[in-house]
A and B are shown apart, each in its own frame.
Chain A
Amino acid sequence: MQTASVFSFHGGIHPPENKTQSLRLPLGRPSLPTELVLPLGQHIGQSSRPLVNIGDKVLKGQTIAINNGFLSSFLHAPTSGTIKAIEERPIAHPSGLSDVCIVIAPDGEEKWSTLTPLQDWNTLSKTDVLAYLAEMGIVGMGGAGFPTQVKLQGAHKHPLTHFIINAAECEPYITADDMLIREKTIELVLGIEALQHLVEAEQVIIGIEDNKPTAIAALNKVLSDRLSNIKVAVVPTKYPSGGEKQLIQLLTGKEVPSGQYPADIGILCQNVGTCVAVHDAIHLGQPLISRFTTLTGDALKAPQNVEVLLGTPIQHLLNYAENDSKKLKRLVMGGPMMGFTLDSANVPIVKTSNCVLAASKKELPQPAPEQACIRCGMCEQACPASLLPQQLLWFSKSQELEKAEHYNLFDCIECGACSYVCPSSIPLVQYYRHTKSSIREAREAAVKSDLAKQRFEARKARQDAEAAEKEAKRLARQKASASKSSETKKVAPKAAPAAAATTATPAGDDSKKLKIDLAIAKTKLKKLQKQLLEAQENEHTEEINTLQLQTSAQEKAVALLEEQLANAVASAPAPVPKAPASDELKKAKVDVALSGTKLKKAQKQLAESPDDAELQAKVAGFEKELADAQARLSKLSADAPASSTAATSAAPKAAVSDELKKAKVDVALLGVKLKKTQKQLAESPDDAELQAKVAGFEKELNDAQARLATLTDQAPAAQPAAANAGDELKKLKIDTAIAKAAVKKVEKALKKAEDLNSPELDTIRQQLKDAQQRADDLEKALANPNTTAPSATPTASSAPAPSQQANADKQRKIDLAIAKAAVKKAEKGILVLQEQGQDQAQIEASGLPDKLSAARAKLADLEAKGESPAATPNNAETTTAAPDEAALKAEQIKKQKIAAALAKAQINKLTKRLADSPQDADSIQLEITAAKQKQQDAEAQLTQLQLAQVTPSQDNTQENR
């Protein structure tokens, strides 16, 4: 036994000790409560993971929860019994919140599980002993509940000069450590020796305040009996000498540098309770299931120290200490200086509960009203951290966070000495807590805003790259289509055989490969972007940088591939049409449809039994058939425009719009197929076959879209006869009806999915959007022929004839009927949406209101026209043909305008879609070019018409410009 020299620390206070009350009675051992509530988070760090289930029988000392990560701890059953519940229960926490607890109903038998003391701790490796301590659930019992093995591991960083045992217990009222030293002196010393064996410090000092003479005497006796070299340092009673930093300063004269740990200066502190728990674990094999707790306060008739099982409800202890509930006004967990108040006594004792203070109103009166700070400096004299509390208050009140930080707010240990001495009763510590959290929030916000800025810049760069890429693509495509059309016209008959071979040409192969590469690269990019986003959300700063680098590299790769692809597409010879045969075309169409259905059926079957090789073969066969049929069809349809151009006005039946329709159907079909396969691919991403299929589909789709684009380009040039319009309209109507049905079906599915809250919701929504888009397209198409057809008439027939007029009349009537139907349809669509309870925004998003207004505008237009033609015949008979012509032309201008507007609307819609679904960028891009072409054509015709009719429509043109 030796005594150690004692230094001193700045400040400190001498509050009334109030320690005698709880030392009058000997150590109590309360009876078993009816249930033990064991919170999973009794320590610093992550909550433990429960190992038991409700209804399990557990033995005393059995592990019921294991550590959840590095900074976590084990939990053991404090007694034998049954797991009653694992649920949220109120716990002893300053927040007053609940936490998940394991509730044990004791069986009263106190049957221990097999205890295996660590007999050979002297010879075992230290890591094993530390692991054993972790499994015994030992945490720092002084207050914070820091897992002991982690603290001991940290102590190995530097050679230890001092191993300090904290027995100061400076808080008023609390005597649990005092009682523990008295009752378990030898256990304490053995525990300290075990720990010293683990940490090998130069000297071991027990720091104890001079207000515990009995404990000091007991310690000295045991230490001298054992000839121990453990020193006892008796420190003067002054709050907060038991604070880790203050005790270190008292015993060593050193200060723990700001922001560092005692281990960094070669010092380790352990609480006496922890040392005894270490002894129990190593020498007895008992895990940490009980602790010493002081029950004190004026509201208790029998204040005393108790050895209590963890999880014992405080109410049970209050009853044991004869609580006078009338007197109880403030229930404090911990001491009066740093403890926190409890909402109710219905919370359990945990590993860190050293005191329950049941105070009466007289004992701990309500805090006096806060007065102005007069900067008297009493707080400054009391502050053990040598802070300037009055200045910190000033900065806290005015929210000058930087100044507060500059004045070392974060060195405040929240001991409460300043608040205790404040003559103006200012709750200083609370101000500091608030300011600390404000500063932390501000720091977090700063980090977040930095990340957001990074994200925004990355996004902007990405969008710019995308835009540039699109522009490059568009230029490439323009070039390609220009060369295509010229080629088509020039070498139409000659290139016929070559067309069949197009797919086999190296260029086609190349582009296919490139597309596959591109698809893969894009997928990778998407994955990387997702990871990046996640990392940014979770603020894994170190990951973000690498991910960002990877993402930008991938972006570059994608851009490169796309450029190559664009080049390849541009260089690839366009498929050249053959001589047409509408019969064949029909047949081919039927074939495509049939094989498509078959394929679908087979695919469905395949989905149900994915391992069926036969079915797979069948599907493959069907797919081949379909591809053949489509190839045939495409060949035919490619021929069609050529034939129509060849037989421009002679063959009014030229089925350009038919072809258009077909191509569109193809595109749609292929799109669906592609999506399906992509979905499959997503489910089994390693399937090379599927990937190849996807790539194939993508290629087909692109081909089909390219075809569609060509057709759309040619469509206005083809100038179908007016008579044809009716036929086309019928077809379009049927198509539209089908598409609408599809929309409805998907909507129904969506509703069902919403009801079931199924995960496919998004996919179905996407389908719905696609279907609606298709329906919209068709409707547009339905509208377009109406406008394109009549626009063609005047150029085809320079002189107005009565028959033509009749024709035009008829057409107008049909238009009128269609427009009316469109209005009705749109209205109905809106109504349906409203019935489905979708809000206004969604309805607007569906585009139906726009459609409705467009349809209404057209209807009005047509009606107006219907009246004027009725008048024109009379005029035509009575007056010259010229004004009649003028009137006609005016109408045509109107129509052209509408057409242009519609095309514009479509472009807008498509652009929006492009933004929404960048993965379909290619197809949408094609559609956009088509739509733009349409618009340009319409506008070109419009200007032509307007030029031809300068005088009457001058106002209009001016308006337009």
Chain B
Amino acid sequence: MALLRVTSPHTQRAGRRTSWVMLMVILATVPGIAAQTWLFGWGTIINIVIAGIAALLSEALILSVRRRAVAFFLKDYSALLTAVLLGIALPPTVAWWVTVTAVAFAIIFAKQLYGGLGNNPFNPAMVGYAIVLVSFPVPMTQWVGAHELLASGAIPTFTQSLQAIFQHLPNIDSYTMATPLDGFKHKNELSSAAAFNTIDALQTASLNSWLWINGAYLLGGLMLLWLRVITWHTPVALLAALAAIAGAFYLIDPNHAATPLFHLTTGAAMFGAFFIATDPVSSCTSNRGKLVYGAGIGILIYIIRTWGGYPDGVAFGVLLMNFAAPLIDYYTQPRTYGHQKAKKGLKIGEDN
């Protein structure tokens, strides 16, 4: 009778493996992807497919170079998740090589070169996004507009999307237009009210399409919360901070600042709050830390959107707070059972 000799505990919560966690996050993006496809055409899905293939290939390549078990690590779906998030974040009509560049950079440089899953200090998807945003600014700002406002009167079809991505769509400009954030950023000296009246991107149709998308991602995020894959701390802190700072500036100068609702329902606000900022590897660990981390991202998003060089600030906000996460962790340790107060910083040798 060969008895198994292992240490306690002897049981494990069934089913909730790391791959399950990744899969749940991927599935939670489905409402958002559906909304994006409905509103902007097949480009998002094509992007996700391209990104997925590129991610798995680059992950497999690096794993074999690093002499790790390829199948074992590919099965944890973490590379696929990065690909899905990138595919969602990139414009629907962006050229395929932009996607591949972003994904390859995310997987190879931002993830595997740091030691693979669990060791990357930065959110890989956002690193890939930032790289292509900085490198190829023009294709990165070409978003499909709401079909009511488009010159062509309709969103690109599947073949048109394929053509746009793999070849060149001559009349691409008739499908794309500025996003609401872009439009608001370039209102220049116009007052808010004037801007919302005159600028195309700030028309109700355009705003509504982004409202739908953000609502869909909020739904997915609530699913994740319900599944306890993520905790409420990061997204709530992020959205609350964003709303608070937007509200504050709106109260100060309602003529030039946008409403908090505008900030919460345009761009990648919800997507960033529930899917990007909650990446556990590169974010803070303790609940209090997550609150600080989320709030930091929210504030950075507003700052970049309002005074920065880019229309949206989720990627840079997240990356900047990734830098700060270890420091925040040291100062937001929870109070351990039996201790008077929580430890702060890293004073070794000093107890309680």
Contact = CB atoms under 8 A, between A and B. Distances in A.
Contacts of B348: 402-403, 405-406
A376 B281 CA distance: 7
Interface stretch (A360-368, A445-453, A732-740, A896-904): A360-368
A187 interface: no
Contact of A408 (B17, B20, B285, B343): B343
Interface stretch (B5-13, B96-104, B166-174, B243-251): B5-13
A419 B333 CA distance: 20
Interface in A51-98: 94, 96
Given A384-B337, A407-B333, A372 B12 contact: no
Given A337-B11, A388-B333, A411-B337, A367 B6 contact: yes
Contacts of A612: none
A423 interface: yes
B173 to A, nearest CB: 42
Nearest to A255: B338
A388 B286 CA distance: 7
Given A375-B281, A420-B13, A386 B118 contact: no
B296 interface: no
B309 interface: no
Contact of A423 (B10, B21, B287): B21
B226 to A, nearest CB: 15
A933 interface: no
Contacts, number: 177
A342 B1 CA distance: 12
Given A13-B13, A372-B117, A406-B348, A340 B280 contact: no
A430 interface: yes
A341 B6 contact: yes
Interface residues of A, number: 76
A15 B11 contact: yes
A696 interface: no
Interface stretch (A328-336, A523-531, A794-802, A944-952): A328-336
A325 B6 CA distance: 19
Nearest to B22: A374
Contacts of B198: none
A344 B3 contact: yes
Contacts of A255: 337-338
A768 to B, nearest CB: 53
Nearest to A418: B9
B67 interface: no
Interface residues of B, number: 49
Given A330-B4, A336-B10, A374 B16 contact: no
Interface string A382-426: 001111101100000000001101111001001010011111110
B312 interface: no
Interface string A239-266: 0000001000100000111111000000
Nearest to A411: B336
B307 interface: no
A350 B231 CA distance: 44
Contacts of B6: 330, 341, 366-367, 427
A374 B12 contact: no
A726 interface: no
Given A328-B1, A341-B6, A386 B334 contact: yes
Contacts of A378: 16, 228
B73 to A, nearest CB: 8
A555 B334 CA distance: 55
A386 B337 CA distance: 6
Interface string B261-288: 0000000000000000000110101110
Contact of B4 (A366, A408, A430): A366
B231 A372 contact: no
B118 A374 contact: yes
B119 interface: yes
- Counting chain A CB atoms within 10 Å of each CB, the highest count among B231, B329, B334 belongs to B334
Contacts of A437: none
Contacts of B3: 328-331, 341-344
A372 B119 contact: yes
Contact of A372 (B16, B118, B337, B352): B118
Contacts of A369: 72
A503 interface: no
B96 to A, nearest CB: 29
B206 interface: no
- Counting chain A CB atoms within 10 Å of each CB, the highest count among B1, B228, B231 belongs to B1
A96 B286 CA distance: 38
B116 interface: yes
- Counting chain B CB atoms within 10 Å of each CB, the highest count among A384, A388, A433 belongs to A388
B4 A390 contact: no
A386 B9 contact: no
Contact of A388 (B5, B72, B280, B334): B334
16 contacts: A245-B338, A249-B337, A258-B337, A259-B338, A260-B338, A328-B3, A339-B10, A341-B3, A364-B4, A367-B12, A411-B338, A416-B9, A420-B9, A424-B17, A425-B17, A429-B7
Per CB-CB distance, the 3 closest pairs between chain A and chain B, nearest first, are A416-B9, A372-B118, A258-B338
